[in-house]
Amino acid sequence: MLQKKSDKINDFIKQAASIHVLNTVYFLGLVVVALFSYPIISSNQSNILFPTVAGYVLLLTFLFKVAIQNIPYLLKQIEDHKAELVVTTLNVVATYLLLSPFVGENSTQNDFFVFLQSFVPTLMFILITPISWKNANSYLGFYGFLQWAVIIGVIAWSGLIIISLFESNAWFSLASNTIVLVSPFFLSMIRKKQMERLRVSIYEEIYQDPLTEIPNRKCFYEHYDEVREINKKSSENFDGYVVFFVDIDYFKLFNDSYGHKKGDECLKEVAQYLKSLAQSLGLSCFRYGGEEFILAGLKTNKEWEELQNNEVIANWTNGDMSLPIKHERSPLGVVTLSAGASFVVPSVIYENNAGAVTKLADQYLYKSKKSGRSKLTIAGTYSILEPQA
């Protein structure tokens, strides 16, 4: 729970910082454009009003940013994301005022501003995107009005410029805008695929046993925690949790006879066999540690009965679970598996962790070992855990 809260805090910090940096960089860019353009505009007195007002808006933006960072009263009264919404609005207004003298048939034409105007739709798109991020769009009253006024205004203005570019056959400008507007979707697709590759890689690093390439004990514990969460939902259709605790018979003697390399190969073969068996039974397979494995999953009473009648399971309970792997120091001459199995009801799942539920199946594995090995001993349906023998 603490980790989840920490993640939310980090997400909020990243989001708030991203909006702040974007607004600041854009503001500084507007100041540069204003300083660059003013000498050009001042030569035509009829167009000087809007850029002059833009200069005052930029000054107001600067004073607002300084005040919001340094005046304690404002810090308490205006939340960060709301302050950034105000800055975004001022940036949009300043952009419009700076470029307005160069829009329209009677405007002063200058290659730099015609070029700059062609990028307005993408500039506006980039600028207003953060104010529509989740956790920053739950405004009411003034800030809600301001947010939607900016979004709708920018969309309308950008749309008019795109129409103007289309009517002027400015295909290169249209193409550049299209690329920028489409690129977030393209980047999102690449990011999604990259995240999936990283997720798989990290999952394998944390939850997969490197030798046998099946899920490890940590993964089993995570699996059981998920089962406990499912168990809290009464609508789920299951009656209990099946656990098979499996052990390779005489495995130490196998290692002593054939060496650890052969021992590792044996573990791999057993793991793949049990994985295949688990899949056929509708269970999941895990390497618990050493030569021990677990097969586990949720089942209804009917499914549990059908599972026990499975040919492989029936033979196993009758003392026949051998693999075609030579083992000279085993009384049976081949590698065999012993196991204990239990089926515990939801109340046991709720009251016990993975270790306690596994211990029950382990008790019946011990009984299988005592009765001759290569055997599966199945417990009854348990509403409480038995004390260990």
What is the tens place of the pLDDT at every residue in 245-297?
Answer: 999 999 999 999 999 999 999 999 999 999 999 999 999 999 999 999 999 99
Tokens found for residue 130? 């953060």
Q: How many domains does the chain have?
A: 2
What percentage of residues in the chain have a pLDDT greater than 70?
75
For residue 333, give its domain range.
217-382
Question: 141-177: per-residue pLDDT in tens?
Answer: 777 788 888 888 878 877 777 787 787 777 777 776 7
Q: Are residues 233 and 378 in the same domain?
A: yes
DSSP output for 12-61? HHHHHHHHHHHHHHHHHHHHHHHHHHHHHHHTSGGG-HHHHHHHHHHHHH
Residue 81 lies in a domain: yes
| Residue 332 forms part of a structural domain | yes
Q: Which helix (H) or strand (E) holds 221?
A: helix 217-231
Give the model's pLDDT for residue 74: 81
Q: Which of 168, 202, 226 is the last residue of a domain?
A: 168
Average pLDDT of the residues in 224-236: 78
Check whether residue 164 and residue 264 sit in a common domain. no
| Residue 173 covered by a domain | no
Instruction: Please tell me whether residue 170 adopts helix, strand or coil conformation.
Output: coil
pLDDT on residue 45: 54
268: domain CATH number is: 3.30.70.270
Which whole number is the average pLDDT over 358-372? 91
Task: Say if residue 368 is in the same domain as residue 222.
Answer: yes
